[in-house]
Amino acid sequence: MEEKIGKVILDTTCYPGKDLYSDGAIEDEMLAISRDFAPEEFNRVISERKSWPILYHFSHIRENILSWIPFTGEEKVLEIGSGCGAVTGALCERAKEVTCIELSMKRSKINAYRHQDQDNLKILVGNFQEIEKNLTEKYDYITLIGVFEYGESYIRSENPYVDFLRIISKHLKPDGKIILAIENRLGLKYWAGCTEDHFGTLFEGIQGYPKTKGVKTFSRKEFNGILEEAGNLKADWYYPYPDYKFPMTIHSDRHLPASGELHMRDYNFDRLRLDLFQESQVYNTLLSNDLYPQFANSFLLVIGKEQPQTAPVYVKFSNERDQKLSIYTEISEAADGQLTVKKVPSQKKAAAHVRNLGTICEELTGMYKEEEIEVNRCRIKGDCAQLEYLTGITLEDKLDHLLEEGRTEELEKLFFSYIQKVKNIHEKKPFEKTPEFVRVFGNVNLRSDLKCTEISNIDFVPANIILSENKVSVIDYEWTFAFPVPSQFLVYRMIFYYLELNDKRGILKERDFYEKAGILPEDIEVYVEMEHNFQQYILGEHTAMRNMYAQISPGRVEVEDYYREKKQESLEMLQIFWDNGKSFNEADSVRYLFRNGKIQTEFELPENTTMLRLDPGEMSKGLKIVKLTWEDESQVKFHTDGCEVSSGEFYFGGDDPQIIVDSVPENRKSIKIEMEILDRKTTEKKFWKVYAEQKRAMEQMSQELAQKKALVDQVEGSKAWKVYRAIKRV
């Protein structure tokens, strides 16, 4: 049986008559959305509903996983497990025919409604094993996006994952390919505190699924074993980041990430996560040790009977933007190994924005020539911009190397030489606001002495400047405007995008780069507002996922903060040691918690106690001993390794303050203790005051001793003294 929704065909021949799985009422809401709203309205609906399932099933970012695949437009594609059609649209836009297989009728209808204008889409509703028996077509591509991990459910056999690939391979054309996206069982995010995607439990996958079954992901090594068993299949490996669900960059073995490139934090929208460590820094460690492919969060495999060699080696998506600015950047490798860069419109509306890069290239080439800076050559081909793949080191990397070597003076000199180049290029006339400037940067209150030029590349930042042996080149100039922008704003962005976006560069802040560049604190306030307005101009009416994180995600638990709090709690404890012949040791001790910085207790002395040691927290720098008496209120005699700064108040310079009771009188039963942790800075000031007073007293005593010694020397040198000494010897 067949039915149609718009132009889409639903074949229900193998449908069992009832959906065997469902997410419940949310699917009714999603069906209504797909029926009542056009795809271009989905982003607004997501931002209004603030629901994880709606974000997951309707975000256009889901399509990024396939939208870059180099289809010719003549392909026949089989999408297995199409769900609600999150990636189906990307296939329909690029292939000749798309056939979906989906078990759920409701999800198939959601898919059909959202793509009802596509006349090349057919959805087969029913169980894969039943439908597969009747498939007669051979396909150029078969996709398994977030499906392979359910192989045990699809295939009833002793080796379901291997058999899954064997069965699918039978439906490929001789040169056909399988596109498979799946989580990496050893993905770094799971070590860092994200829960396993399918079960929502911590560390389930990296421990080998000890508590669950039915769904399974794999490491790279395990996958290679499956491919070999399935018929010695070959794979071209890609690594979607932050994962395959919402990929914003896709790397490959032929183009791995650079150090510092992987720094996203807010991507776990579905469940609460722990933040066990800074992933960005660990990624840098993995990259420097050639381990990134083993720990990438997700895999995207292009699989064939012969070794596939897909042309793109890297893709970066810039489609969290207004549609007229939405693009992606692709690096491709030709058969001879030559690399090229291409900027492609993600939406038809963005074609003009991409084509404008050709004009910008010509204009900047003339402007930059005076400072001996070249512009990455751009050639417009159709709606795409093709650019050179330049080799060398970015100015950002060069500065970082100088920083790592401690050559900060040289770093500053080099950095400011490029700041001066920006000023030389962009300070040709006094700046005046134009309507175009206000539209992009807002009607901000700028100083009257600023300068500019007619064309402004505001993205002339260290990351976009390539240094090679013989030349300096600008590699990305997308944000160049044909109207004046103050040169000081360009300088501000150079400093901000180098100084503020990496913690390791924080040490440079003491060098006052902004001030040395002539940028005052009040200027920074205005430039921050300009940057905000510029980012809003890029977004337009679009709501970026990152801006919905707080509303949709349960958030994350900062384990370092939690640990710090708990550590502080443990440090703010009084530990009492007693010596009854065994000397001081952990076994013969007890702890009492300072509550709100105070403690009041009476400690019963163990039998035969001869000495006591009181440790009031490892980090307690200031302590007031309000009371320290025996049970009969008589004073306890003690000494400390601290300095008494006033009556009962002590300052401890070390990290392990101690109060020692050298001798416990016989027959004492308990010690009464009342203490209070003092403000460290206040107590420290008192200490330095006491120290200064004692130092003055010592100096005065030294002066008095020196004076007395001088007087003695004077007397001993007198004639009377010599006569006296002579008489005394007689």
Token pair belonging to 305: 């009977």
The pLDDT value recorded for residue 110 is: 98
Of 329-333, 469-473, 596-600, 614-618, highest mean pLDDT: 329-333
DSSP H helices in 540-634:
549-552, 559-571
Segment among 7-11, 60-64, 259-263 with least mean pLDDT: 259-263
Separation of alpha carbons 191 and 285, rounded Å: 14
Does position 476 have pLDDT exceeding 70, yes or no?
yes
Query: Residue 368: exposed, middle, or buried by beta-carbon count in 10 A (0-12, 13-18, 19+)?
Result: buried
Query: Residue 578: exposed, middle, or buried by beta-carbon count in 10 A (0-12, 13-18, 19+)?
Result: buried
pLDDT one-digit tens code per residue, 506-547: 899 999 999 999 999 999 999 999 999 999 999 999 999 999
Does position 727 have pLDDT exceeding 60, yes or no?
no
pLDDT one-digit tens code per residue, 286-304: 999 999 999 999 999 999 9
Pair 103, 21: CB distance under 8 Å: yes
Separation of alpha carbons 48 and 196, rounded Å: 28
The pLDDT value recorded for residue 717 is: 62
The pLDDT value recorded for residue 101 is: 98
Supply the DSSP string of 154-181, one letter for each residue: H--SSSHHHHHHHHHHTTEEEEEEEEEE
Q: What mean pLDDT, rounded, does the chain reach?
A: 92
The 10 Å CB-count burial string (b at 16+, else e) for 110-132 is bbbbbbbebebbbbbbbebeebb
Q: What percent of the chain has pLDDT over 90?
A: 79
The pLDDT value recorded for residue 730 is: 46
pLDDT one-digit tens code per residue, 222-231: 999 999 999 9
Query: Residue 418: exposed, middle, or buried by beta-carbon count in 10 A (0-12, 13-18, 19+)?
Result: buried
Segment among 167-181, 251-265, 456-470, 553-567 with least mean pLDDT: 553-567
Query: Phi and psi at residue 655, in whole multiples of 5°?
Result: -95, 0
Does position 726 have pLDDT exceeding 70, yes or no?
no
Residue 362 Ramachandran class (φ > 0 left, ψ -120 to 50 alpha, else beta) = alpha
3-class state of residue 6 by DSSP? coil
Could you tell me which residues come within 8 angstroms of residue 432 by beta carbon, excluding any fewer than 6 positions away? 484
Separation of alpha carbons 235 and 228, rounded Å: 10
Does position 570 have pLDDT exceeding 70, yes or no?
no
Supply the DSSP string of 194-212, one letter for each residue: PBPTTT--BTTTTTT-SS-
The pLDDT value recorded for residue 473 is: 96
166 vs 503, more confident: 166
The pLDDT value recorded for residue 154 is: 84
Residue 512: how many other CB atoms lie within 10 Å: 10
Separation of alpha carbons 527 and 533, rounded Å: 10
Could you tell me which residues come within 8 angstroms of residue 100 by beta carbon, excluding any fewer than 6 positions away? 78, 79, 82, 85, 88, 108, 111, 121, 122, 123, 124
Supply the DSSP string of 456-491, one letter for each residue: EETT--GGGEEE-SS-EEE----SEESS---HHHHH
Supply the DSSP string of 441-459, one letter for each residue: H-S----TT-EE-SSEETT
The pLDDT value recorded for residue 504 is: 84
Segment among 44-58, 601-615, 675-689 with least mean pLDDT: 675-689
Separation of alpha carbons 342 and 306, rounded Å: 27
Query: Hey, which residues does 358 pair with through a beta bridge?
Result: none
Separation of alpha carbons 512 and 596, rounded Å: 40
Separation of alpha carbons 535 and 135, rounded Å: 49
The pLDDT value recorded for residue 569 is: 63
Separation of alpha carbons 217 and 180, rounded Å: 12
Pair 487, 423: CB distance under 8 Å: yes
User: Averaged over 693-701, what is the pLDDT?
Assistant: 80
